[in-house]
Amino acid sequence: MGCICSKGAAEDEEGVVYHREKANEYWNKSSSVQLIAPLPSNKDDFSHKAVDGSSGGGRRASGLIVPIDDSHDGKTVIVERPSRSQRGRRVSDNGKGGGLIISNVPRSAEAELIAAGWPYWLTSVAGEAIKGWVPRRADSFEKLDKIGQGTYSIVYKARDLETGKIVAMKKVRFANMDPESVRFMAREINILRKLDHPNVMKLQCLVTSKLSGSLHLVFEYMEHDLSGLALRPGVKFTEPQIKCFMKQLLCGLEHCHSRGILHRDIKGSNLLVNNDGVLKIGDFGLASFYKPDQDQPLTSRVVTLWYRAPELLLGSTEYGPAIDLWSVGCILAELFVCKPIMPGRTEVEQMHKIFKLCGSPSEEFWNTTKFPQATSYKPQHPYKRVLLETFKNLSSSSLDLLDKLLSVEPEKRCSASSTLLSEFFTTEPLPCHISSLPKYPPSKELDAKVRDEEAKRKKAEAVKWRGHESVRRGLRDSKVTPEFIASGNSNVSLTTPSFKKEKRFTDTNSVIHPSSRSNVGEVKPSRSNNVPATMGDYLASSSQKENIVSRAPATTYMRKKNRMHYSGPLMPPGGNIEDMMKEHERRIQEAVRKSRLEKSATKKNKDISVKACA
C-alpha cells in the first residue's frame, strides 16, 4: 500500500522526485484531482492541491488525495502533511501539457501508514507494530459499560456496530504523546500479533484516528475472570474443574513460551473465562520477548506482588519462563483454598511469606547466585519448607505438582510442557470438559472489589452505633490483635508484644491506621492479612518457632537514617528478615501513636476555642 509519490522514487540533489510513469497511469484514468481545504489547526492539518504547470508549477502544497494503486478503482486516500524535518518536495508529471502534481509526504513506510489513517505520533514510533493494519473508527463502536481499570488503561464493554458483536475495548491514553509510552504499547501490540492460540486473547483490531490522542485495543468479550469466579460467594471449584482451568492456562502459556514470549503478569484477573468455559490469557502489557542466551538484562519490577517469583524479589535481571510457572503455582493453590496464599503488603513481607511457606534456598543457591538483594534477604537461620504439611488435604498428584511449581530455586521448577504431561492431568479425577463447567452470572475482579467495599461500608455503619462506649471499653481493655489470622474459626496467632500503658492511649500490635478502625476499640485485621484456613497448622508451628517479639518501648524513636520504607529492600547488608519485621512493626506503632497524639491535641485546641468564644 502506498501513494503514487512514494514508490520507485529516486531523489536528485534538490530532493525533487519524478514519478512520471505512475502519474501518467493516474491521469489517463482521471483528469481531475479532488480538492480539500486545509484545517485551521497547524498541528494536525492536511491540505491537497493540483497545480497546473502552465500556471506556476512551483507552488507548494501540503498533501494530495490520490489513488494508491490500480486495484482501488479510483478510490482516494489522504496523505497527511508531515513534520518540517521530514518534508520532501515530490513532483510527478500529470501527463497533460507538462503539468505537475506536487505533494509533500513523509518517507515511504510512514506515508503508507499515514495514508491508511494512522496518527503520526503512532507511525513515527510504532510503525512496525501496526504495519499492514487499517484502524477502525471510534464511532463504529458503542461503549456500554466499564468492566475494568488499570494503571494506564480502562477496559469497556462495547458493541461493534458493524457486526453487532459484543467486544472488550481497552483504552490507552498517552500523556503528551510520550514516545516511550507509545513504544511500550507498541510492544504489547507486536506480541499480541505474534500469538494465535485458543487459550490466548486475540487482538481483533485497533481503533484510533489521525486527530486522536488515544488508542483502543479491541478483543473478544469475556464474561468472567478467574479471580472474580473464585471470590464469588458460594463458589467452590471441584478438582476436575480446577484441572480443566489449569490445563487451558498451561496450554496457552506453552504457546507463549514456545514463541519466546514471557507474560510476566499471570494472575487471576488476567485469566479470562467466557460463558462456554474457555479460559484465555489476557493483558500482555508487561509481556516481553526473551532468548535463553540473551545479553540484554530484563527488569525485575514485574508481576503482581502476590504472584511474584522469589528471584524477581531478589532483583534478578536474567530469568525465563520459570517466573510464569511460579505464578501458575500460586494460582493452583488459590483455586483449591479460594484465597490468595501469600498476600504480602511489601516486597520484604512477601519474601518473608515465601520463606515461611516454601522454605529458604539452599546455601549453594546463595553462594552461586549473584542477585542484587541476596545479602539483604538471606535469613540468619534457614526456613523449613512446610508446603506439603500446609496443603496436606490435597491429592498426591496435586501436591506433587504444587511442590514443583513453588520451588524457591527457579531451575527446579517444571516447564509448561512438562506440567501438561504430569500425573496431575492423567490420574483420576481427570479434567472435566469445558462444556460441563457451571454457568455463572458475569464475574470480574472489579465486581468482587465492589462487593467487598459494599460489605465494608455496611459494617462501618453498623459499628457506629457502638459509639464512644466501645472506645472507652477499648481504652480500659487495651486488647492486642494478632498479626495474622488463618481463618475465622482459628485461634492461631503469632506472639504479640506488650507495652507499658500510657494515659489516654491504647496499645496495639495492628498495622492498621486508627482512621480505618471506625472508632472501634477492638482492631480488626486487614483483608491482606487473611490466609487460607488450611494454613492454620503452619502458622501455629512457625509462630512458636520464630517467637517474633518486639520488646522495645513504643515511645522509642529511630534515627532518621534508619527509618523504614515500605517498598523494596528494607535492610542493610548483613541484616535479616526477623529483625526487619520487628523493626517494621515497631515503626508503624510509633506512627499510630504519633497520629493519635496529634489528633488529641487538635481536639483540645478546638475545645479551648469553643470555650473562649462562649
DSSP E strands in 302-362: the ranges are none
pLDDT of 613 above 50? yes
Structure confidence at residue 252 (pLDDT): 98
Structure confidence at residue 51 (pLDDT): 39
Structure confidence at residue 151 (pLDDT): 73
Q: Which residue has the cell 517469583?
A: 309
What counts of helices (H) and strands (E) characterise the chain? 19, 15
Average pLDDT over residues 50-74: 43
Least reliable range by pLDDT among 278-282, 460-464, 474-478: 474-478
**C-alpha R_g of the chain:** 31
Contact between 505 and 596 under an 8 Å Cβ cutoff? The reply is yes
Spatial CA neighbour of 51 closest among 89, 1, 25, 86: 89
For residue range 150-179, list pLDDT tens digits in order. 777 899 999 999 999 999 999 987 766 788
For residue range 270-326, list pLDDT tens digits in order. 999 999 999 999 999 999 999 988 889 999 999 999 999 999 999 999 999 999 999
Structure confidence at residue 582 (pLDDT): 75
Sheet holding 214-220, edge to edge: 141-149, 153-160, 166-173, 214-220, 203-207
Provide φ and ψ at 568, rounded to 5°.
85, -175
Range ranked top by mean pLDDT from 116-120, 237-241, 519-523, 595-599: 237-241
359: cell is 522454605
Q: Which residue has the cell 487495651?
A: 478
Burial class of residue 580, CB neighbours in 10 A (0-12, 13-18, 19+): buried
DSSP secondary structure letter of residue 443: B
pLDDT of 412 above 90? yes
Helix or strand run (H / E) with residue 120:
helix 120-130
pLDDT band for position 579 (cuts 50, 70, 90): confident
DSSP reduced 3-state for 440: coil
pLDDT band for position 76 (cuts 50, 70, 90): very low
Between CA 395 and CA 376 the distance in angstroms is: 37
* Residues marked as catalytic: 265
Domains and CATH numbers, the chain: 17-116 (no CATH), 120-220 (3.30.200.20), 224-445 (1.10.510.10), 467-613 (no CATH)
194: cell is 505474534
Contact between 225 and 443 under an 8 Å Cβ cutoff? The reply is yes
Residues 122, 126, 129, 133: what is their CA dihedral angle, to the nearest 10 degrees?
A: 30
Structure confidence at residue 230 (pLDDT): 87
pLDDT of 224 above 50? yes
603 is in an annotated binding site: no
Helix or strand run (H / E) with residue 584:
helix 577-613
Average pLDDT, the chain: 73
